Amino acid sequence: MTAARPDDRSTLPIPRWPALLGAAVGVRWAPPSPERPQACRTTICSWSASTCAQVEADHASEGFYEYWQSKGRNGDRSLVCLYCYQGSAGQPGVLVPLVVKGREGGRRRLHFAHPPNMAPAGGHAPETAWHADGKLLLAGWARRQSNVAAVRVEWHTDDRRRRADVLVELHDGTHIVLELQNQALTDRDWLARHRDYADRGIVDVWLWRPGLDRPGILLTHGVALHYLDVAEGRCGIPLGRPHTRTADWHASPHPEHFGLHYPACLNDQITVRWAPLGDLALDARGIALPMKVCDELNRTAAAVRAEAAARAARIALLRRPNPQPAPNPHDAIATPSRLAPTRPRRATAIPPPSRVPRPATNKVDERPDNPWRRRVWTCPGCGNRTGLLVCTICHPSQPHR
């Protein structure tokens, strides 16, 4: 979003906000910075009915009404609306001096408001308030980091083609831009801005309004993705949910993807871990993850790797061939060697079945397996034992049967 503003406001820094005025007042104020040109003494103030007022403590107590009355529309007109100053929806910013309303001790607390007929139709959009408050929130958080040398809000590149929401310079010389995005951005526009920052050696960190769809172009280029909850002052870290495990998931070069992992892959389902901004830090790569999230990711990755190694070992054991026992020489059967001379075998025919001969008449075959065996009896006349029906000694003339 490019807005035509006076030259004396192009590099206007917005310093840290000190104290709270009350829940009903919607103002953010910044005193002039020493880096600002002396010709411009405009005090930037943002008006939002949903936020608390943040002013300096000496102005929030005695003489508050008189002080801000002298800075508002009826005074030197240096107290202006921040949202109108920044512009929105591609419209250039304008200076709208604010007025102080309410009475001390009255039913309505003291607050700032637009002059009659100078407020935008329908008020400032929630996206505009989120973007403006988010820049001030990130700037104050960055100034509290020990390794930060300088912080600038609404920083322009040398050719003024790009304007970063917040520029952070570390003590080691690293430059980081914090970009807040409250609406969907096309891949072409984001890629052009990302390449412009990369060509200048600037690390770009993108923080998206909660509820926006996850831009896949950031994951494709390995850029960290975060969500910013301005109302709660916290940052959301999107973690990729575990991938579906296939039969050979243990052989994957990245087994940690089968558990909760960061950064998320392109088509992953997202689980957001919220953490206060105070738990996050800045380093040369951008926003460092809080220790609580890092410990969770390390434990999950270690458990998944151990499970993958155990599965790989189990499958290798099942696929290994069954080892055969060594032969025992005592159990071996002696077989002739193929090289030793052998006697030729003589072919023999199977003999025909032999018939049992019928015994002679005078002989008795008492073998029990003789099919021709007869009952043996003793002749009472001569005592001859015979198996014939007639004794051949006593009756030689009888036929022998």
Domain boundary, last residue among 124, 152, 173: 124
Judge whether 364 lies within some domain.
Answer: no
Residue 401: inside a domain, yes or no? yes
Helix (H, G, I), strand (E, B) or coil at 14: coil
Where do we find the tokens 């075959």?
365
Instruction: pLDDT band for 32, please (50, 70, 90 cuts).
Output: very low
Note whether 109 and 144 are same-domain residues.
no
Question: What is d(CA 293, CA 240) in angstroms, rounded to the nearest whole number?
Answer: 13
What pLDDT band is residue 357 in, cutting at 50, 70 and 90?
low
136 shares a domain with 260: yes
pLDDT of residue 373: 61
What is the pLDDT at residue 268? 87
Q: What is the pLDDT of residues 210-230, one digit of tens each?
A: 888 777 888 788 787 899 999
pLDDT for position 277? 92
Is the same domain home to 184 and 230? Answer: yes
Residue at 72 is within a domain: yes
The predicted model gives 34-40 an average pLDDT of 32
Give the per-residue pLDDT at 116: 84
Same domain, 105 and 133: no
| Residue 322: predicted pLDDT | 74
In a domain, 326, yes or no: no
Asked whether residue 147 falls in the same domain as residue 120, the answer is no
CB 80 within 8 Å of CB 88? no
- Give the pLDDT mean for 73-87: 78
CA-to-CA distance for 141 and 17, rounded, in angstroms? 11
Between 13 and 84, name the one with better pLDDT. Answer: 84
Residue 123 has pLDDT above 80, yes or no: no
pLDDT in tens, 300-331: 999 999 999 999 999 988 888 877 777 777 66
Report DSSP letters for 116-135, one per residue.
TT-SPTTSS-HHHHHHHHHH
Hey, how many other C-beta atoms are within 10 angstroms of the C-beta on 282? Answer: 21
Tens of pLDDT along 135-160? 889 999 999 999 999 999 888 877 77
- Rounded distance, CA 7 to CA 42, Å? 13
Q: What is the rounded distance in angstroms from the CA atom of residue 393 to the CA atom of residue 395?
A: 6
pLDDT at 304: 95
Distance CA(114)–CA(74), nearest Å, equals 12
Which residue is it, tokens 């075998």? 345
Has residue 56 got a pLDDT over 50? Answer: no
Full domain range(s) for residue 251: 129-312
pLDDT score at 33 = 36
Task: Dump pLDDT digits (tens) for 361-390.
Answer: 555 555 666 665 666 667 777 777 776 767
pLDDT value for 347:
63
Could you tell me if 174 and 214 lie in one domain?
yes
pLDDT (mean) for 183-199 = 88
Average pLDDT over all residues of the chain: 74
Whole-number pLDDT of residue 400: 55
Q: Between the CA of residue 316 and those of 258, 309, 312, what are the distances in Å?
A: 21, 11, 6
Q: How much is the pLDDT for 255?
A: 92
Collapsed DSSP state (helix, strand, coil) of residue 276: strand
Last residue of a domain, one of 312, 331, 360: 312
Please give the share of the chain, as a percent, with pLDDT higher than 70.
64
Q: Is residue 99 part of a domain?
A: yes
One domain, residues 94 and 152: no
pLDDT digits (tens, 9 = 90+) for 267-305: 888 899 999 999 999 999 889 999 999 999 999 999 999
| Predicted local confidence at residue 355, as pLDDT | 64
Looking at the structure, tell me whether residues 146 and 267 fall in a common domain: yes
Cα–Cα distance for residue pair 218/245, rounded to 1 Å: 25
DSSP E strands in 347-388: the ranges are: 377-378, 385-386
43 found inside a domain = yes
Domain shared by 107 and 163, yes or no: no
Number of domains in the chain: 3
Residue 167 domain flag: yes
Return the ∠ at Cα 166 (arms to 162 and 167), rounded to 5°: 80
* DSSP of 133-176: HHHHHHHHHHHT-TTEEEEEEEEE-TTSS-EEEEEEEETTS-EE
Residues 262 and 225 in one domain: yes
> Both 116 and 140 in a single domain?
no
Specify the residue for token string 């007022």. Answer: 53
Q: Residue 93 has what pLDDT?
A: 74
Select the more confidently predicted residue: 2 or 253.
253
pLDDT at 42 exceeding the cut of 50:
no
- Looking at residue 147, its pLDDT comes to 92
The answer as to whether 248 is a domain residue is yes
Q: Are 31 and 15 in contact (CB under 8 A)?
A: yes
pLDDT surpasses 70 at 346:
no
93 and 139 inside one domain: no
Mean pLDDT of 173-184: 90
Among 65, 92, 124, give the residue marking a domain's end.
124
- Domain containing residue 306: CATH number: 3.40.1350
How much is the average pLDDT of 64-88? 77
